[in-house]
Structure 1
Amino acid sequence: MRHLATVAAGIATIVLLTGCGAGNAGKAPAPTSKSAASATPGPDGSFEVEAALKNADPAPYSSEIRTETYTDSTLTVIMAGRMNFNGSGPTGKLTLTTSDSAPKDQAFKAETILLEDATYTRTLDDDGAAGDWQRTGLGSSSAGVADYGAYAQLLLDLGPKARKGPEEVDGAPAYRLSGNLTRDQLRTVDRRLYDKMRATGTEDFACDVWVNQSGRVVRFEQWLGISGTSAHNVVTLKNFSEPVPVSAPE
């Protein structure tokens, strides 16, 4: 389980750092659709997903985010917090915790502060005591961090087969896109994940994206095979609001 939890933690971090955001971030590819159709839901909850993505507010915002990572169908790691998106880089504060499936002596908990130029991480114990902050600089590929809106556009580019239609997410209308993305498709959209996939020999992965009528991604699911382990990541975003202040620990 320790091995699985460690792998899951790594996969969850990869997803967080390479998939942060929703809407029209500066690095995301522009939608190819020229449709001026409204993204307002119809009576059946359907709306024009291309228009929603194209018209998404580009202003910075924050969102609650929760990532659940399953390895071999077992929930192993939960990452949760609040992130700022649509800025020059994703920033936020998160907590990474093993699930109850991990043996007590193998469980861990950590908190991370993500800044535009570095991350700070420290471990936490059951009594609330914290270890020292460890700083890690971001690699040169971080400048190309993509947002979930870019994943939505990649799925749209797959054509009609990727369009699964309207569904509800947390009781609100959303449009689901689903398909398989190859490593090469991520080369210019998500360089960090592209490099990870190349290093581990991963050729492709399946993913689903749910876009709301405002053009924000509210749910993202991904199925990966990393280090011989089958992983399923489920990311949910909600309670959108103004950006929150984030700074390095003192």
Structure 2
Amino acid sequence: MRRATTHALRACAAATALLSLATGCSSDEQDDTKPSDTKSAAKKDPGKTATEAVRAAVTKVRGTSAGIHETVAIAEGETRYTISADGPFDLAKDKGKLSVDFPGGAIDHVDEIFDGDTVYVSQVQGTDDGTWGSAARDKVEAHYLLRAPLNDPEHYLRQISAMRKVERFGSNETVGGALTTRYRGSIDHATLTLRLADKPRKGAEQIRDAQGTDLPVFADAWVDLQGRLVRLKMTYRMATVSVTATVTLSAFGKPVKVAAPDASRTVPVTLKGGVLFG
């Protein structure tokens, strides 16, 4: 189990754009569909650009609750790992809970409770069993590329709403039984490194400076017929390293019952890493 965690950390570290990958790298991410004709798309949706459609879809889900399913797939050569997070989330009220899993890791499961400006986390190193670590939601950082601080779904929504060069990429694609329109764009450096800790940020900056362009990150957003974002995906691939973050939203509007742990069972913590924590 410790070996699995070590390999995963190595893969995550590689995915933060270390300078050793800076030369001879190119993105080969492809898709089996072609972008829709922009003139045709404009005729179907006059007055709303693809960028506006995605941002409106993000705004709509931010005003309700949803079931959240996140996966982060990390690959280094033939080695692959997947981290997942699942749970109900009231995005309008900033309340939710996630169960985070990394099969095979030395620590393979943590629970997270989001309550307004505070996040509570189980299984924090240095705390007793049954004690929750508490941290300010806006102060926690991500430590790996395409990870959200403490797997916060709001972070991914912020990134996808900032995608650039957006175009309609496909229609009548089914996500969770719903027909959707798919949009594709790219993520710029500022969005990619949003809330990224200092060390991985510097690694990404070294690559960007060495190759003279932003790291290649494709972004996809699926919007249903009600104008809601139902899935987002961001993919980074260079040389033998790839990271794909996917968030699927479902069960919109259901009540979310979340209670913060009793104060006697919490202790303030500073989270500086850990595969499960982002």
Deviation at 1:120, TM superposition (A): 0.6
1:233 aligns with 2:245: yes
Deviation at 1:123, TM superposition (A): 2.7
Deviation at 1:86, TM superposition (A): 3.2
| Map of 2:31 onto structure 1 | none
Equivalent AA in structure 1 for residue 133 of structure 2: Q
Deviation at 1:216, TM superposition (A): 1.6
Deviation at 1:113, TM superposition (A): 0.4
Measure the CA separation in 1 of the matches of 2:140 and 2:44.
34
Deviation string 1:36-65 (CA, Å, 9 cap, x unpaired) is 959xxxxxxxx9864685486477321111
Equivalent AA in structure 1 for residue 229 of structure 2: V
Measure the CA separation in 2 of the matches of 1:236 and 1:59.
14
Measure the CA separation in 1 of the matches of 2:115 and 2:199.
21
| Map of 2:229 onto structure 1 | 217
Equivalent AA in structure 2 for residue 111 of structure 1: D
| Map of 1:97 onto structure 2 | 101
- Seq. identity, %: 23
1:67 aligns with 2:66: no
Measure the CA separation in 1 of the matches of 2:244 and 2:60.
30
Contact 2:163 / 2:219 at 8 angstroms: preserved in 1?
no
Task: Give the length in aligned residue pairs.
Answer: 199
Q: What RMSD in Å do the two structures reach over aligned CA positions?
A: 4.1
Structure 1 residues 111 and 165 mapped into 2: Cα distance closer, same or farther (>3 Å)?
same
Equivalent AA in structure 2 for residue 97 of structure 1: D
Equivalent AA in structure 2 for residue 249 of structure 1: P
Deviation at 1:141, TM superposition (A): 8.7
Measure the CA separation in 1 of the matches of 2:227 and 2:101.
30
Measure the CA separation in 1 of the matches of 2:200 and 2:234.
13
TM-score, length-scaled by structure 2: 0.57
Deviation at 1:66, TM superposition (A): 0.9
Deviation string 1:123-179 (CA, Å, 9 cap, x unpaired) is 39xxxxx5421111233599xx66637624634xx15xx320212212211111123
| Map of 1:249 onto structure 2 | 261
Contact 1:93 / 1:246 at 8 angstroms: preserved in 2?
yes
Measure the CA separation in 1 of the matches of 2:251 and 2:182.
19
Contact 1:113 / 1:119 at 8 angstroms: preserved in 2?
yes
The secondary structure found in structure 2 opposite 1:192 is: coil
| Map of 2:184 onto structure 1 | 178
Measure the CA separation in 2 of the matches of 1:8 and 1:64.
28
Contact 1:52 / 1:214 at 8 angstroms: preserved in 2?
no
Measure the CA separation in 2 of the matches of 1:146 and 1:95.
17
Measure the CA separation in 1 of the matches of 2:10 and 2:87.
21
| Map of 1:208 onto structure 2 | 220
1:77 aligns with 2:83: yes
TM-score, length-scaled by structure 1: 0.62
Measure the CA separation in 2 of the matches of 1:64 and 1:196.
33
Contact 2:112 / 2:120 at 8 angstroms: preserved in 1?
yes
**One of 160, 165, 169 as aligned partner of 1:164:** 169
Measure the CA separation in 2 of the matches of 1:79 and 1:218.
16
| Map of 2:118 onto structure 1 | 118
Measure the CA separation in 1 of the matches of 2:255 and 2:196.
25
| Map of 1:192 onto structure 2 | 195
Higher alpha-carbon Rg: 2
The secondary structure found in structure 2 opposite 1:113 is: strand
Contact 2:163 / 2:186 at 8 angstroms: preserved in 1?
no
Deviation string 1:22-47 (CA, Å, 9 cap, x unpaired) is xxxxxxxxxxxxx9959xxxxxxxx9
Deviation at 1:81, TM superposition (A): 0.5
Equivalent AA in structure 1 for residue 110 of structure 2: A
1:139 aligns with 2:148: no
The secondary structure found in structure 2 opposite 1:119 is: strand
Equivalent AA in structure 1 for residue 226 of structure 2: S
